[in-house]
Amino acid sequence: MKFLFVVAITTTAIQNKGYASAFPVRPGRLLLSPSATYFFADKEWDSTGVKKSFPGNGKFTSQSYSLYAEYGISRRFSAVALLPYVVNNYTQGSVSYPSSGLTDMETGLKYYLANINYIYYFAIQGTAITPLYSSQSLGYAEEGAEFKLSFAGSGELFDRNYYFNIDNAIRQYFGNGGPLQYRYNGTFGITLDKLFKNQLSVSLGGFYTTSNFKQFNVINPYTNKNFSFTQASLSYGHAFSHDFSVFLTGGQFITGRNTSVGTSASIAIVYRIGGI
Amino acid sequence: MKKLQSSKQQLTVYLRQASMALLGILLFTTGAAADDITFTATPGSKNAIFKNTSTINYNIDVINSLKTNEDGKLTYRITTEKGVFVAEDSLKISVKNNDGARYQLSMPAGKPGFYKVSFMINVSDDDDTIRRVFGVDPDKIRSVYSKPADFDQFWDDTKAELAKIPPNFRMTEMKDSDRNNRKVYLIEMQSLDNLTIRAWLTIPVTKSKTRKFPVYLGLPGYQVPLKPSYASDPDIAILYLNVRGQGNSRDVIHTSRTDFITYNIEDKNKYVMRGVIMDCIRAIDFICTRPELDKDKIFVEGGSMGGYLTVATAGLDKRVKLFSAENPILSNIRGLDGVVQWPVNDIKAYVKIHPGLTYDKIMDNMDYFDAKNFATSINSSILVGIGLLDFLAPPNDEYTLYNNIPKDKKIMIFENLSHEVGNDYVSYQFHWLHDSFALF
């Protein structure tokens, strides 16, 4: 029934973050989702939210590749993991600042908390953040932890099936000046046909990050600690089979502070293996 | 419920002239024909169930599509399920041409139970009646008829008798019937009195040699022959059982449709339902022997007689995790006289042609087959669906069953349906089943 819904994963462009649905995963089933994202920015919002070009007409590009996995341990529990790899480059005139490598790995445990009439589902998730690099060119290089509350539901609307998913997460990095982040994302999707083959979804998500380290690093936005943004995205999903789907997503940062004005495009593939 | 005084004080009326916009909406939603008086009755409480209240409220929306102003009266009449008069009152109404009006009726509530209510409109050029049923504190409804002291012993003995019958399960693949990615098997087994009963099993095609499928066991309605199910669910095996005397299990018992319900009804040890219920237990025995079926994930469902068999099986068999009984018949059987025609009239006709037999004697036997008496022993999760307009399984009697279930139960009520349940029930059941068996 939730053919596409349970595998709906929104890739938030630059953060390489896979937002899993609040819907449970069948015990014994492995959900695998490799994705690739291209991110581009040549403007920034300053600390007061004023938009302007990067200094010296600089531009930042990033290609990120990630593998998201979720495994159903039992009816209530599933294990989640995210392994991201990025290739970044900031250019200003003839000068380039490239960096690449594995970034923050996430490993966590999701618990199917409750449902309302088997229509609305609630889940909580605890996640550990482990940096797979040592230099700060790819991120904070700090251990972290996240707690997330997810709420999802599905139903019928205008003779089509819809779903929604809302995630709210608090993440703390445990280093000097390690930021405290509030991460949120809301997605609404609707099927385009009665066979659940095609779906369209819109998302609105973002971060609100606070830290006593307030400087904005234009060369590598990954390392910024005091910023906020809101990103809108549109996604099309197609299910080639019950166990294989592809999602194409375009995203645009629509508001921000102390961060770049990002535009992104991504492709995510979702496999469902086992659990029978 | 005490008899109501017919007074305008007890009939609180709120009249407001509806706008043409409202008229348009109502015409759209009711599908009213042109040149007609139509009206709807909407209960003031969800599913027409009124709890902890002293009044029963209904909104009556009247649409006048005629070209003339219509004057007349709106009357309500309340009776018990047996037709005993409870209350009646009326008020004058006046609806302009091509307009609408809403009247709110407020009627005193009585003791716990379900009541029939008729709303009648009599105006210059038209008469019409709507019949509905509402409930008052149904959670407090209890049967006045007790469970036999040896009820449990009777069924323990019956199950012991079944256990002595070698089941001799036979499973024959019907390759020419495979369809919709499901394999079809004819299942044959020996049940009580060594009768052969048959069922159809369909299993999703799988490459796995070790996969165990959760099982849906479908129990039949009265004299409804079941065929293999080709439902598209790829995760569930489906076993449709034809109990003795039905479908392809009519080798020994092959009565007419009418005579099945009274077959050997004069003797509780020979009554057809004793064997029929054991056929359901035997089907679960079969499921538990099969390596490709998951005996820890059995779901049993049925409607009407199938709902009755579901309740009986739930009371007698602890191996099943989930039950779903839609409009179960034969609950509070002694209370059915004067409420339903079937099976009461057939039983009375049977008594007439059997000298020495009395209706009371049959009722003494039927106490052992009363759904409400099985309900007290249910300790699995069970979903029950009822229609308030049901003429075979009246809501009052359904609630004697439901209220006897000790725990882990849910009831879904359909106020405007008769012997059926709505799509909401089907949808809820689907999600409940899949969630409970972790088939996400």
pLDDT tens sequence across A135-145 = 777 888 899 99
- Please give the average per-residue pLDDT across A231-259, as a whole number: 94
pLDDT at B34: 55
What stretch of H or E contains A123? strand A120-131
- Please give the average per-residue pLDDT across B29-54, as a whole number: 81
Q: Which CATH number fits domain B37-136: 3.40.50.2300, 2.60.40.10, 3.30.565.10, 1.20.1440.230?
A: 2.60.40.10
Q: What percent of chain B is modeled with pLDDT above 70?
A: 92
Candidate from B3-12, B43-52, B301-310 with smallest mean pLDDT: B3-12
Candidate from A242-246, A265-269, B321-325 with smallest mean pLDDT: A242-246
Residue A227: band (very low, low, confident or very high) from pLDDT cuts 50, 70, 90: confident
Contacts of A29 in chain B (CB under 8 A): 440
| Amino acid found at A52 | K
pLDDT tens sequence across B405-439 = 999 999 999 999 999 999 999 999 999 999 999 99
Our CA-based measurement puts residue B437 at a distance from the nearest CA of chain A, in whole angstroms, of 8
- Please give the average per-residue pLDDT across B286-303, as a whole number: 97
pLDDT tens sequence across B208-243 = 889 999 999 999 999 999 999 999 889 999 999 999
pLDDT at B348: 97
Nearest CA in chain B to A117: B428
pLDDT tens sequence across B346-379 = 999 999 999 999 999 999 999 999 999 999 999 9
pLDDT at B9: 29
The sign one gets for the Cα dihedral B225, B228, B229, B230 is: negative
Asked if A21 contacts A2 with a C-beta cutoff of 8 angstroms, the reply is: no
pTM: 0.86
More confident position, B54 or A149:
A149
In this structure, which topology does domain B2-25+141-436 adopt according to CATH? Rossmann fold (3.40.50)
B2-25+141-436 against B37-136: fold identical:
no
Contacts of B439 in chain A (CB under 8 A): 26
- Please give the average per-residue pLDDT across B172-194, as a whole number: 95
Domain boundaries, chain B: 2-25+141-436, 37-136
B211: nearest CB among A24, A117, A276: A276
Strand partners, A200: A190, A236
Asked if B56 contacts B77 with a C-beta cutoff of 8 angstroms, the reply is: no
Region class of B408: left (phi > 0), else alpha (psi between -120 and 50), else beta: left
On the question of pLDDT at A194 being above 50, the answer is yes
On the question of pLDDT at A54 being above 80, the answer is yes
| Amino acid found at B390 | D
Q: Could A26 and B432 be called an inter-chain contact, meaning their C-beta atoms sit closer than 8 Å?
A: no
Candidate from A21-35, B253-267, B355-369 with smallest mean pLDDT: A21-35
pLDDT at A226: 83
Residue B15: band (very low, low, confident or very high) from pLDDT cuts 50, 70, 90: very low
B438: nearest CB among A1, A2, A26: A26
Residue B181: band (very low, low, confident or very high) from pLDDT cuts 50, 70, 90: very high
The maximal CA–CA distance of chain A, rounded, in angstroms, is: 60
- Please give the average per-residue pLDDT across B62-77, as a whole number: 93
On the question of pLDDT at B4 being above 70, the answer is no
The beta-carbon contacts of B431-437 under 8 Å, at least 24 apart in sequence, are B431/A1, B431/A117, B431/A118, B431/A119, B432/A118, B432/B322, B432/B383, B433/B216, B433/B236, B433/B299, B433/B322, B434/A1, B434/A118, B434/B235, B435/A115, B435/A118, B436/B321, B436/B322, B436/B381, B437/B214, B437/B297, B437/B299, B437/B321
Q: What percent of chain A is modeled with pLDDT above 70?
A: 88
Our CA-based measurement puts residue A68 at a distance from the nearest CA of chain B, in whole angstroms, of 19
- B270: DSSP letter: T
DSSP state string for B58-90: EEEEEEE-SSS-EEEEEEEEEEETT--EEEEEE
Question: What are the strands, taking DSSP E only, across B124-178?
Answer: 126-136, 170-173
pLDDT at A6: 25
Closest CA to A12 of A144, A143, A169: A169
Q: Could B435 and A1 be called an inter-chain contact, meaning their C-beta atoms sit closer than 8 Å?
A: no
Rounded alpha-carbon distances, angstroms, from residue A242 to A1, A21, B229: 10, 17, 21
Structure token pair of residue B122:
């009599």
On the question of pLDDT at B8 being above 50, the answer is no
Q: What percent of chain B is modeled with pLDDT above 90?
A: 87
Q: Is B206 on the interface with A (CB under 8 A)?
A: yes
Annotate A186-250 with three-state secondary structure. EEEEEECCCCCCEEEEEEEEEEEEECCCCCCCCCCHHHCCCEEEEEEEEEEEEEEECCEEEEEEE
Structure token pair of residue A272:
């469902």
On the question of pLDDT at A11 being above 90, the answer is no
pLDDT at A15: 37
Q: Could A119 and B439 be called an inter-chain contact, meaning their C-beta atoms sit closer than 8 Å?
A: no
Rounded alpha-carbon distances, angstroms, from residue A236 to A13, A15, A265, B103, B264: 15, 20, 12, 50, 64
Rounded alpha-carbon distances, angstroms, from residue B281 to B115, B192, B318, B321: 36, 10, 10, 14
- Please give the average per-residue pLDDT across B113-119, as a whole number: 97
Closest CA to B440 of A68, A7, A239, A236: A7
On the question of pLDDT at A3 being above 60, the answer is no
Q: Is B410 on the interface with A (CB under 8 A)?
A: no
Residue B124: band (very low, low, confident or very high) from pLDDT cuts 50, 70, 90: confident
d(CA A272, CA B268): 54
Residue B27: band (very low, low, confident or very high) from pLDDT cuts 50, 70, 90: very low
Residue B2: band (very low, low, confident or very high) from pLDDT cuts 50, 70, 90: very low
A-B CB pairs within 8 A amount to: 32
pLDDT at B14: 28
State the alpha helices, DSSP H only, in A52-201: none
d(CA A14, CA A209): 15
Q: Could B440 and A6 be called an inter-chain contact, meaning their C-beta atoms sit closer than 8 Å?
A: yes
- The ipTM value here is 0.81
Structure token pair of residue B133:
């049923």
What number of CA atoms fall less than 13 Å from residue B400's CA on the CB side? 25
On the question of pLDDT at A10 being above 60, the answer is no
Candidate from A113-122, B23-32, B294-303 with smallest mean pLDDT: B23-32
Whether the link from the prior residue into B343 is cis, omega within 30° of 0, is yes
pLDDT at A214: 65
On the question of pLDDT at B21 being above 60, the answer is no
What stretch of H or E contains B315? helix B305-316
Mutation target vs B (from A31, A78, A113, A118; most B CBs, 10 A cutoff) = A118
Nearest CA in chain A to B208: A276
Asked if B438 contacts B431 with a C-beta cutoff of 8 angstroms, the reply is: no
d(CA B150, CA B157): 10
What number of CA atoms fall less than 13 Å from residue A88's CA on the CB side? 26
On the question of pLDDT at B87 being above 90, the answer is yes
Contacts of B234 in chain A (CB under 8 A): 242
Asked if B141 contacts B49 with a C-beta cutoff of 8 angstroms, the reply is: no
